[in-house]
Amino acid sequence: MKYNEISDFIEETHVKIEEVLDGDTIKVKQEFGQISKEIRLYGLDAPEVRINRKMLEDEAKSHIPSSMLLQYGLMSLDFVLQVAPIGTRVTLLTERKHQLDFWKRQLAYVILPNGLCLNEELIKNGYAKASNNYYCQLLPKYQALNLQAKQQKQGIYQFTDVF
């Protein structure tokens, strides 16, 4: 992915993954400090890993039982842990005009040590779907990758067409 497609962003380096909360949210910590924060990945939505309000909404929309959605959420979480295990040093790119989500978590593109973007990898491999819940400059690209993952039955799409 070429990050010159993103205009006007803030770059943060020297942060490590401290915890993977689910397929679209991680917790990072400054490598040379004590500050930890939650990061919500731009442009995607992954199934929940706990039964909560959002999972019940997803169940109603998708007509997939929450017990199955929970399994899909755990698959997404496992994928993140495989490609970005705890302790992985990452770079965060945050769009200056769209820095926070509704819950005041920082939004970011998470760049892995190999140069790949975790956001893109999740969508491309079918463990998250493109979402316009929060503005994201790369959403059209993510939507195309999502369609491709669905057509190729990648990840969760092996089991369902909707999640």
Domain architecture of the chain: domains with CATH:
7-158 (2.40.50.90)
Would you write out the chain's pLDDT as a tens digit for each of its 163 residues? 566 678 899 999 999 999 999 999 999 999 998 899 999 999 999 999 998 999 999 999 999 999 999 999 999 999 999 999 999 999 999 999 999 999 999 999 999 999 999 999 999 999 999 999 888 999 999 999 999 999 999 999 999 999 9
Q: Choose among 144, 146, 148, 150: nearest CA to 45.
A: 146
Check if the beta carbon of residue 75 is closer than 8 Å to that of residue 81.
no
| CA distances, 81 to each of 38, 75, 97, 156 (Å) | 16, 10, 29, 16
Per-position b or e across 87-113, b if 16+ CB within 10 A of its CB: ebebbbbbbeeeeebeeebbbbbbbbe
